[in-house]
A and B are shown apart, each in its own frame.
Chain A
Amino acid sequence: MAEKGIRIRGLKKRYGSGDTAVDALKKVDMTVTPGEVVGLIGPSGSGKSTLLKCLGAVIEPTGGQMVLGDHIIYDDGWKVKDLRALRRDRIGFVFQAPYLIPFLDVTDNVALPAMLAGSPNSDARKRAMDLLQALDVGHRAKAMPTQLSGGEQQRVSIARGLVNRPPVILADEPTAPLDSERAMAVIRILNNMAQKFETAIIVVTHDEKIIPTFKRIYHIRDGVTYEEKGKGRAFE
């Protein structure tokens, strides 16, 4: 049974204090339901990365509320003791560059978060293999990251983000280094995976070519989010 996506209410983040304080996030409201892929768009310095880091439990917000599924994870303070376990078990990450571990082969790169979560190696590898096949890179399972193309690396990175079946995936400009064709392929995969695993996916992007593919878009400007209904035409 999938959890109920992610809900954010009035999230704030202030860096520094006194005269030098900077309000990176002033009021962020966002809801992403399971199986949905939403875009998060904004100019440089608008607070996109700060929001992603707050959502990823990497930095602590200074106010507001974050609910992941049925669990309040932040409400004017962390409500979860082990943030590392939270990231490992309930949040998946897909980065701008794939950042695969260069000394692990494709299978182990994908299986690693599952192994870290305590799954036996054989189970973790089986789940990794299933995901790799679902993402059409099963044939590269034994390859090292440097032997993959950019698109393949990004698909492996997506598989790694999904291996623990997290209710939320945070994708930080996942199509930036890819050409149009590969970028569209990655977005198609994210949509498919979101529906297949009922995962809520937030895609931070600048990429003009993929923006029309989102059904819903959150714009962020000066630390405040605005929702816009997207066209979502590519996958309708």
Chain B
Amino acid sequence: MISLAGRDILHTWGKFIFTGFGLGLLIGVTLIMAGVYRGMVDDAKVLMDNSGADLWVVQKDTLGPYAESSSIYDDLWRGISIMTGVARAANVTYLTMQVRHGDRDVRAMVSGIAAGGPGLPGWPPYLVSGRQITRGHYEAVADIATGFRLGDSIQIRRNQFTVVGLTRRMVSSGGDPMIFIPLKDAQEAQFLKDSYAIRQQRRRTAENPAFNRPGVPGLLDAVIASQSVNPFVNAVLVQVENGHRPEDIAQQIRKWKRLTVYTRPQMERILIGKLIATSSKQIGMFLVILAVVSAAIVAFIIYTLTLGKIREIAVLKLIGTTNRTIAFMILQQAVALGGIGFVVGKIAATFSAPFFPKYVLLEPLDSVSGFIAVVLICIISSIIAIRAALKVDPAEAIGG
């Protein structure tokens, strides 16, 4: 028996290709949406992996340093680093800001890394060109996605930094590229006020009778001195020695330092389960809407194509074609349309993904799931057309 669906498709291939192309663009958007979600998850994992930490020590009862603000004293790392089972510990700060690059602003996450060299938690694990930061001030390593090149000058707050190294795929959980600078500079960038604000603060402190008492002459200077330094960091990143369980070390730090400590699985839950939860729900809603729209389009197209063949279907029935053969013909056409659409969508998504400002990760498994979903949608969508075809009376082929 010949394939009626195949012959019909070959006969009206132009209509099928154009319709499949339109459907394909819609499927492409759906795949991109899934890719955006995967990209967000990957960004979150990359942030954790690149930090090189096994534990994140943050302000008590916060979800810091990525999901909530966290502020802890910058000398706590010393006590942590000498605890049993801790290989290395280092302070780190994170500050998302607009960084000036020539005539434009670049949104980046500026990370302050403690002196110590590559391998210390928080440092970029690899470079694509240049070198790591070797000086204590005004050097930077930037992700290549920021657009900076070696030797470029970056202005962060009032200070100029020179790009000495470039790295790749170092992004925040929001997908912003990272810039690494020395910790002291980052602390200053986080809390440093401009000169007018500093003068204002000093005047207000001086006018406060509690700090400027006649009987305590050194108090005002001491208070002002304490206001001009920033002894805080966002977190301490901890690497655990081989043979020790991160959870045990975390428990020790919680017990003795009265801080909140997250292990990698806990941090992954925060980043994926909390930080991008709303975004993933949003994308999920879009995926549902796109699936429904795709189904409606396929159903409408197949229904219209079927209605255009009512007389032929009546003739087919009259000459003995079974309902099963006719239903299978329509089903095959719907699946073929979905197949064309999927191929077009996959190609469109693959070629357009690099042009999206945020990372779009197209997972092969998502493509397989997408294909199965498209086939299922096409099968369901063809039901209306099949019902219409099965209702056709073979008597319609005979006049009267």
Contacts and interface: CB of A to CB of B under 8 A. Distances in A.
Contacts of A108: 2, 7
Given A56-B398, A58-B394, A58-B395, A102 B11 contact: yes
Given A58-B394, A58-B395, A108-B2, A113 B320 contact: yes
Contacts of A48: 400
Nearest to B11: A103
A50 B395 CA distance: 10
A9 interface: no
B135 to A, nearest CB: 76
A101 B400 contact: no
Given A53-B398, A121-B1, A172-B399, A104 B318 contact: no
Contact of B398 (A84, A88, A101, A172): A172
B316 interface: yes
Contacts of B395: 53, 58-59
Contacts of B394: 58, 87
Contacts of B4: 101, 103-104
Contact of A116 (B8, B11, B320, B398): B320
B208 interface: no
A160 B320 CA distance: 12
A108 B2 CA distance: 9
A99 B10 CA distance: 19
A93 to B, nearest CB: 6
A52 B319 contact: no
A172 B398 CA distance: 7
A58 B2 CA distance: 25
Interface SS of chain B: helix, strand, loop or mixed?
helix
Interface size classification for chain B:
20 to 34
A49 B399 contact: yes
B153 to A, nearest CB: 68
Contact of A87 (B10, B12, B320): B320
B68 interface: no
A144 B319 CA distance: 19
B1 A116 contact: yes
Interface residues of A, number: 32
Nearest to B308: A102
B398 A52 contact: yes
Given A53-B400, A104-B7, A108-B7, 19 more contacts: A49-B398, A58-B395, A59-B395, A87-B319, A88-B319, A93-B318, A95-B397, A96-B399, A99-B312, A101-B4, A103-B4, A103-B8, A103-B10, A113-B320, A115-B1, A115-B2, A116-B1, A116-B322, A172-B398
The 4 closest A-B pairs by CB, nearest first: A49-B400, A88-B320, A103-B11, A103-B8
Interface of A: 48-50, 52-53, 56, 58-59, 84-85, 87-89, 93, 95-96, 99, 101-104, 108, 112-113, 115-117, 121, 144, 160, 172-173
29 contacts: A49-B399, A52-B398, A59-B395, A84-B317, A84-B322, A85-B320, A87-B318, A87-B319, A87-B320, A87-B394, A88-B319, A95-B315, A99-B312, A101-B312, A101-B315, A102-B11, A103-B4, A103-B8, A103-B10, A104-B2, A104-B4, A108-B7, A112-B2, A113-B319, A116-B1, A116-B320, A116-B322, A144-B11, A173-B399
